[in-house]
Structure 1
Amino acid sequence: MSKQEIAKEKNTKKFSILMITAVALALTAFQLYTAGVSLLGAWIQRDIHLVFILVLTFLIFPLSKRGKSDQATILDGILVTLAIASGLYIIVFYQEIVMRAGSYTTLDTIFGIIMILLLLEATRRAVGWVLVFIAGFFLIYTFIGPYLPGLLGHKGYGLERVVSQMYLTTEGIFGIPLGVSANYIFLFIFLTSMLEKLGMGEFLLRLAMSLMGRFVGGPAKVAVLASGFMGSLTGSAVANVVGTGTFTIPLMKSNGYKSHFAGAVESCASSGGQLMPPVMGAAAFIIAEFLGIPYIEVAVAAIIPAVLFYISILFGVHFEACRLGLKGLPKKELPSTREVLKEGWYLLLPLVALLYFLGVVQYSPIRSGFYAIVTMFIVSFVSKDTRLTWQRFVDGALAASRNTIMVALACATAGLVVGSINLTGVGLKLSSFIISLSGGYLWIALLLTGMIAIVLGMGLPTSAAYIVAGTMAAPALIEMGILPLGSHLFVFYFAIISAITPPVALAAYAASGIAQDDPMKIAFTACKIGVAAYIIPFLFAQSPALLGQGSFVSVSLALITAIIGVAALAGGSIGYFVNKAVFYERVLLIVGAFSMLYVGIYTDLLGIIAIGLALFTNIRRGQKQVVNIGKSVEEM
């Protein structure tokens, strides 16, 4: 390559970086303005948001894997131009389109087709083929209804009707899912990205070290706690694994944990972060919008399921550490909790502000997120190490823009699915099909729904998996008597834990690169550690008390029995309780666990008896082993 070609390539690269930075800053300015000054109409807000996302996608992601991600091509420039044109068409002709609703022109159809094709191409680049195939299938389904037999048949729709549904209404691309991305998601991702730039990740990791490092199997418990903290901020299992696992996995290995177990702990703990309030994952905001309830209600309902999820993992790593005879880290190697809080307590203030405005003042998520960002700007000046500079702001805007791309595209493309389902009415048919297939048995309907969410979650981002599965299956659960919030959280929960479920298990694959071990071995071990996580959704789906609904006594009793159940299940799965458990003790623990986890006084009594018997024999056997060891020593 000649010097001129090298210079030209460098200039092209610099121009691409400059363009990406400019668009990211423009997107950030737009989102902050609409959040804090004046929110635009729903359709216009979502349209502008999507155009920014499409432009960034074509500038950042290459046409193919073999392309260079930091250099846009002429084709990308054309796609950027078309994205801007199709977005501007809605803004320029907004009043005219609204006034002639139901009567659409040729230009409407042309620009609608362009927008749909651009969205699918952008989704292919940033998210992958799976969501594109699903959206394409549902789009084709809208046309071929008359040719399908039985349950799947419908009258069918023409090109103009389908395109107008997807492009010129808020029931397709610009539906509720994209509205959540346009209003809330960018703000919360920007907040967490800026906090990360200010040192929040290191602070939370040091805090977890100071709190859990000294206990048995301390490094693994640090991983669980740190991943729970960070997962609520990042909203991504894979990003969480990469962020915290780089430190925690080598630390666990150095403490004596096997590499596959260390990777499993991190991938399992990272997956649950999206369930952890106050921020949670993008789908939690979508749940609130679908159900028409304040986001704080979703966050409060998720507290007990999230606590049970992480308690079950903590029990798993504790029993494994005891089984292996692992100890905690020396006190001298650990930071002081007081010193850690003294150095970085102010970094928690933006999250405190977020909770205050959401829960106490009861502002909307968009206004609460804006005030949390303002708080973050202010507290950054407490220390010169965290002081907000222009470069940090630019880096935060770039990180937030990049991290929003996948979520926004998943929401917009899932809107094509939702729009197709609403247009054809197949959603009601699928709900009836699930009820029919379950034979009227609720637990079978729950099992089918969980499987659908897991399968979709293997190939889709959590938000997209939830939207598709929730649209199809949640109505069936509601019809069978499950509370609407419980039904949607059930789907959301299984979409989350698909990240550790073989054969795909994206979180396990991310951990395998750090742990240097087989991803499938990590995935199956993660399932073993988090086995209770697969049971918890069935509990809160049928017991509103585990969603914080009911009297204080009923909620407390449900929580206590659930904790005992997940502890026994972890012990039976790992093979350790007070001492190493033999086969019949493990059976008793698992039977007792399922009895405690099933809501009912008689099952609780059965569970207490089974677990109590396992505990009694486990302790007695351990005492006999100590006596036998003592006699052997004396004889020597």
Structure 2
Amino acid sequence: MSDKLSPEELQQKKLPPEDESYVSEEKQKEILQKYDPESNTRDLSGIIKHVVFFGLLAFSLFQLYTAIFGQYTAYIQRSVHLGFALSLIFLLFPARKRKGARHKVAWYDYILALLSVGVAAYWPIMYDDLVFRLGRVTELDLIVGILAILLTLEATRRAVGMPITVIASLFLAYSFFGPYFPGFLRHRGQDLDSVIQLMFYTTDGILGTPISVSATFIFTFLLFGSFLVKTGVGQYFNDLAVSLAGNLVGGPAKVAIFSSALQGTISGSSVANVVTSGSYTIPMMKKLGYKKEFAGGVEAAASTGGQLMPPIMGAAAFLMVEFIGGVTYWEIAKAAAIPALLYFTGVWIMTHFEAKRIGLKGLSPEEMPNRKEVLKKIYLLTPIVAIIVFLLIGVPTMQAALYGILLTIFVSAFNKETRLSFKDMILALVDGARTALAVAAATAAAGIIVGVVVKTGLGLSLANGLVSASGGNILLTLFFTMLAAIVLGMGSPTTANYVITSTIAAPAIITLLMLDEPVGAAVPLVVALSAHLFVFYFGIIADITPPVALAAFAASGISGGEPIKTGFIAAKLAAAAFIIPYMFVLSPALLMIDTSWPELIWVLITALSGMVAIGAGLIGFWYRKLNWFERIITFATGLALIYPEGLSDTIGAILFVILFGIQWMAREKKPAKTVAA
């Protein structure tokens, strides 16, 4: 940003940071370990540290080898992927969060790691025999299958968290005790042999579609993100955001939005995104004059939105390709583009109105970086742009990620500061594998849920139940589905919450939208995409929805604000996310599927105008302060504009023009004041 020393350089020189609000690396690590199970790893030393290092490296090399030269058969590819993940999780993640457990591996974890290797090796060693007698399980098969389930659940608890572990366990119980459930939840039940066979000896359970995607697309994209991080692109996102938005009204808040949207292209975690960019932006916001809870709320809302931002979208888009079927990754990324744009526009508008309301300016010229110097490094974004282009022209997804890695290495070589050495590339491989551990565990546990749903027909039963409860009303069905997605998504990572919500909640929307179609008719792409994106959105928004708002809690750890209050502010700022999914289900034009440009432009204009009105109503300021009655009218106008229907759009547009005119004529003409730091 400037010729001042960075915090890292200051630490090397043993000098305190110039800004006392700087969040140290130790504090960042502490916050991540508290709120992000994926970061709660041991600090190892000695021989075991090297064993884990080379284990992670071998994991990445195995994945790269199969990505380049072709995968093994499904059972072998997925079981080896699972074996690497489980064994490394037991060595890296302690069973409990005690401080003493972070520095050495417990004796029982060595046993669990060895059992994981044995379970994973069972398929490659016994492949011919297992395939020959597929459908019949021996006593040894049962023992190995039970171990696979128990190891998967325990590894998931450690690396991902308790919520998804509990959900997967409940689904397992449901498969056994189906005859004892009431109404549409009842099924004939499964015996132990059937459940074990389903879970580990078919591709409908642990070794099912979710872990298949983890073992292919997700891993290579995580490696791509890891190589990008090594070039310093994360810090560059911050520098670019400051240079473009830092001098605007309430600049640091807009920097947080811009930076977090960019971070979302390489980050698979809302909490990690909060800590990465929030350690930089939250102190800036507080210094400018934003309250602690508002600063944390802005960062939490923006960082959570990063999971909705194409092209990576928290890796769930790759799962969506497999779950929907007949759709390309590019089609999903394209469909998610306008909703993501509207989301960040909504957060941007409300932070702007809040800054105007309390009279905040942007950063001073002295605090701004040299824009020309920042733009000189714009080439660092080339790999991200290239990935989008590759997908657009039809390059296979995994191949596009591999090209992205090669391009990242090539582009980094243009500048000594960003050039990747051989050591950097080895560390990128290790970091990528480390990031993939939690994803592999989460997708394996999600496979348990999917297997039970498929075997018992629970998805269709729940869909019919939700539709029946809503009386066939589309808005009520969407509302009930939203509640289900938020509750199921609380505390779960992006990939896991999408698997859960798409398996349990999405069928309800599809069922209702297909009521007028003949029985057995193929589900149109627009119906499937809108349903899956609907539950995906609300599963993500669970990260900022109290009472379990992990992203907001992490932001409060940096800002010093009250966690629950920070969560409510984040949810208010992300109000767009609670509205946009309804919009694209009711008006699929937003997904850019089977729509004309005039229709798309009109929907965008009304939606953006609606965002402005809703933001003004919620914040209580437009061009001047709004009283309670004006806030209600303004908010209602926004809803009318956003609801995709001709009459409501017309009424909303008329009201919007009138309100805008009144606000413009009565605007406060005194300049905004700067709040002293």
Structure 1 counterpart of 2:604: 559
Q: Deviations over 1:403-439 (max 9, x none)?
A: 2222211111011011011111121111110110111
- Equivalent-residue separation in structure 1 for 2:564 and 2:185 (angstroms): 37
2:243 matched to 1:200?
no
- Equivalent-residue separation in structure 1 for 2:43 and 2:254 (angstroms): 48
- Equivalent-residue separation in structure 2 for 1:69 and 1:424 (angstroms): 41
2:529 matched to 1:485?
yes
Structure 2 counterpart of 1:351: 384
Structure 1 counterpart of 2:46: 14
Deviates more, 1:85-94 or 1:36-45: 36-45
Q: Deviations over 1:504-556 (max 9, x none)?
A: 11011100111011011111111222212211110011111111121111111
Q: How does 1:70-469 map to 2 (within 5 A)?
A: 70-292=103-325, 293-342=327-376, 344-360=377-393, 362-469=394-501
1:502 maps to a residue whose letter is P
- Equivalent-residue separation in structure 1 for 2:624 and 2:464 (angstroms): 49
Of 559, 570, 583, the residue aligned with 1:526 is 570
1:337 maps to a residue whose letter is R
- Equivalent-residue separation in structure 2 for 1:416 and 1:11 (angstroms): 31
Q: Indicate conservation of the 8 Å contact 2:230/2:428, yes or no.
A: yes
1:454 maps to a residue whose letter is I
Structure 2 counterpart of 1:540: 584
- Equivalent-residue separation in structure 2 for 1:558 and 1:95 (angstroms): 57
Q: Indicate conservation of the 8 Å contact 1:316/1:530, yes or no.
A: no
- Equivalent-residue separation in structure 1 for 2:182 and 2:647 (angstroms): 48
- Equivalent-residue separation in structure 2 for 1:386 and 1:487 (angstroms): 42
Structure 2 counterpart of 1:575: 620
Query: In structure 2, do the counterparts of structure 1 residues 591 and 97 end up closer, same or farther at CA, with 3 Å as the change threshold?
Result: same
Q: Indicate conservation of the 8 Å contact 1:226/1:244, yes or no.
A: yes
2:640 matched to 1:595?
yes
Q: Deviations over 1:59-84 (max 9, x none)?
A: 10112222523422221111111111
2:171 maps to a residue whose letter is F
Deviates more, 1:327-336 or 1:176-185: 327-336
Q: Indicate conservation of the 8 Å contact 2:44/2:102, yes or no.
A: no
Query: In structure 2, do the counterparts of structure 1 residues 11 and 368 end up closer, same or farther at CA, with 3 Å as the change threshold?
Result: closer
Deviation of the 1:484 alpha carbon:
0.5
Which 4+ stretches in 1 moved above 6 angstroms? none
Deviates more, 1:401-410 or 1:207-216: 401-410
Deviates more, 1:262-271 or 1:10-19: 10-19
2:571 maps to a residue whose letter is C
Q: TM-score, normalised by structure 2?
A: 0.88
Deviation of the 1:148 alpha carbon:
3.0
- Equivalent-residue separation in structure 2 for 1:329 and 1:204 (angstroms): 17
1:162 maps to a residue whose letter is V
Q: Indicate conservation of the 8 Å contact 2:225/2:267, yes or no.
A: yes
Q: Deviations over 1:246-269 (max 9, x none)?
A: 010000111111111111100000
**Structure 1 gap segments, 5+ residues each:** 1-9, 627-636
- Equivalent-residue separation in structure 2 for 1:12 and 1:225 (angstroms): 36
1:52 maps to a residue whose letter is F
Greater share of helix:
1
Q: Give the superposed CA RMSD.
A: 1.7
SS state at 1:233 partner: coil
Query: In structure 2, do the counterparts of structure 1 residues 437 and 323 end up closer, same or farther at CA, with 3 Å as the change threshold?
Result: same
- Equivalent-residue separation in structure 2 for 1:475 and 1:531 (angstroms): 25
- Equivalent-residue separation in structure 1 for 2:192 and 2:263 (angstroms): 45
Deviation of the 1:399 alpha carbon:
2.2
Q: Indicate conservation of the 8 Å contact 1:59/1:71, yes or no.
A: no
Instruction: Number of aligned residue pairs: give it.
Output: 614
Deviation of the 1:11 alpha carbon:
13
Structure 2 counterpart of 1:7: none
Deviates more, 1:98-107 or 1:262-271: 98-107
Query: In structure 2, do the counterparts of structure 1 residues 169 and 297 end up closer, same or farther at CA, with 3 Å as the change threshold?
Result: same
Q: Indicate conservation of the 8 Å contact 1:187/1:369, yes or no.
A: yes
Q: Deviations over 1:552-598 (max 9, x none)?
A: 11111111110000111001100111111222221221111010011
Q: Indicate conservation of the 8 Å contact 1:265/1:529, yes or no.
A: yes
Of 614, 617, 627, the residue aligned with 2:659 is 614
2:203 maps to a residue whose letter is T
Q: Indicate conservation of the 8 Å contact 2:226/2:431, yes or no.
A: yes
Deviation of the 1:453 alpha carbon:
1.0
**Structure 2 gap segments, 5+ residues each:** 1-41, 514-525, 671-677
- Equivalent-residue separation in structure 1 for 2:486 and 2:201 (angstroms): 32
Q: Kindly, what percent of the aligned residue pairs are identical?
A: 45
Deviation of the 1:214 alpha carbon:
1.3
- Equivalent-residue separation in structure 1 for 2:95 and 2:631 (angstroms): 53
Deviation of the 1:401 alpha carbon:
2.1
Q: Indicate conservation of the 8 Å contact 2:179/2:187, yes or no.
A: yes
- Equivalent-residue separation in structure 1 for 2:385 and 2:433 (angstroms): 24
- Equivalent-residue separation in structure 1 for 2:474 and 2:190 (angstroms): 35
Of 44, 53, 63, the residue aligned with 2:76 is 44
- Equivalent-residue separation in structure 1 for 2:249 and 2:97 (angstroms): 45
